[in-house]
Amino acid sequence: MDGQGATADPQLQHFIEIESQKQRFQQLVHQMTEVCWEKCMDKPGPKLDSRTESCFVNCVERFIDTSQFILNRLEQTQRSKGGFSESMLD
């Protein structure tokens, strides 16, 4: 074996990792927007009332808390199995 092709270019790996993280973030934002819009938006208007704004803030905070909890739990589960890449959470 000459070693070529055994490992990918580190810069390419880093680029792919960053792009994957961006994609995951965009998916989370889209999902959060959809969930919170359905939950909080009664009737669209030119301005948010304080109740709707408060609902959005609480919804987003709960969504973030839940997502973080799930990620942490997944990380713990994967670490106990020994097969989780640290770079996935950066």
CATH of the domain at 16: 1.10.287.810
Predicted pLDDT at 71? 85
pLDDT attached to residue 82: 66
Does the model's pTM come out above 0.85?
no
Q: For residue 14, is it within any domain?
A: yes
CA distance 86 to 78: 10
Residue 40 lies in a domain: yes
Whether 52 maps to a domain, the answer reads yes
The domain tally of the chain equals 1
51 found inside a domain: yes
**Does 89 fall in a domain?**
no
23 is in which domain, residue-wise?
10-83
Within-domain flag for 25: yes
Q: What is the pLDDT of residue 62?
A: 93
Q: What is the tens place of the pLDDT at every residue in 16-66? A: 988 998 898 899 889 989 999 999 998 888 888 999 999 999 999 998 898
